[in-house]
Amino acid sequence: MHRSDNLHSILNPDGIPTMRLSSLSKLCSVLTLSALSLATQQANASVITMDTRYSASASLPTADAYRTTIDSLAAAAPTAGYGSTTLASFDSVSNQSVFGSATNIAFRYNVSFSSAGNGAWNFRIGPDFGNGGAVFLDGNLMGFKTNNMWWAGSYASTTQDFEFLTSLGSGNHLLQIYGLEDCCDGSQQAQFLAPGNTVYTSFSSTDGHNPHAVPEPASLPLALGAGVTLIGWQRRSRRQQTSS
């Protein structure tokens, strides 16, 4: 019996047909690319959705009234001048720039993001909600105002924006922003200050807090390890074939 046959009997005791080296090489490449893809996902970012619908409603009496009313509106198909989309950045956002209408707007923003560890997060939201609005984080109320809110590009007045500090655990989180605008739909923004950072960052597709970066802590090394193992097996098989 050749030494290559000995190797085959050790690695494949049940007699299952062995893959050709070319197929093995392809499998190694797939595993390596999969591992690199998982690593890339970890560098991706928050997911921001924007829903707007027609509404001529005045200010509402409670934060939950904003949420339930606007959620109900968003469940229906949008009319002309309003819509639903995913945003690349929560910076300089307005309904008129995205969908066309500058009046009678019900806003709902959902921002899904992840926290790598436990710590204190700061948030600030610059809206144009002429008839007030409310902010929830993981279902908990963070801010509620019924006055005419227009931040005008500045966080100098807390009556015109939402600002709050809260402690978050590691994992995924959901920021929800609701508001009503009568006229005339200025640009809006939402930002965070993550633990250890000193500068506020707008939520975006490059902010590094992707809630869908899901490889378990051991999965990336496992995928890479499998590729290395198969490559080693491939090299040993070639050496055995050369020496036999």
What H or E segment, with its residue span, contains residue 30? helix 21-41
- Same domain flag for 89 and 194: yes
- Has residue 207 been placed in a domain? no
What H or E segment, with its residue span, contains residue 65? helix 63-74
Higher-pLDDT residue of 138 and 210 is 138
- Has residue 211 been placed in a domain? no
- Same domain flag for 110 and 179: yes
- Same domain flag for 125 and 187: yes
Among 11-25, 50-64, 111-125, 168-182, the least confident range: 11-25
- Same domain flag for 154 and 229: no
Q: What is the CATH number of the domain that holds 89?
A: 2.60.120.1560
- Same domain flag for 188 and 69: yes
- Has residue 210 been placed in a domain? no
- Same domain flag for 149 and 186: yes
Instruction: Please state, in angstroms and rounded to a whole number, the distance separating the CA atoms of residues 88 and 45.
Output: 10
- Has residue 209 been placed in a domain? no
Give the residue carrying structure tokens 């469940």: 75
In the chain, the N- to C-terminal Cα span, in Å, equals 10
Instruction: Please state, in angstroms and rounded to a whole number, the distance separating the CA atoms of residues 121 and 112.
Output: 15
Q: What is the pLDDT of residues 11-21, one digit of tens each?
A: 455 554 544 54
- Same domain flag for 239 and 190: no
Q: What is the pLDDT of residues 91-125, one digit of tens each?
A: 999 999 999 999 999 999 999 999 999 999 999 99
The model's pTM:
0.73
Kindly report whether the peptide bond that precedes residue 183 is cis, defined as omega within 30 degrees of 0: no
- Same domain flag for 185 and 228: no
Tokens representing 38?
């998982």
- Same domain flag for 188 and 230: no
Q: Give the residue numbers spanning the domain of 111.
A: 47-202
DSSP summary character for residue 204: B
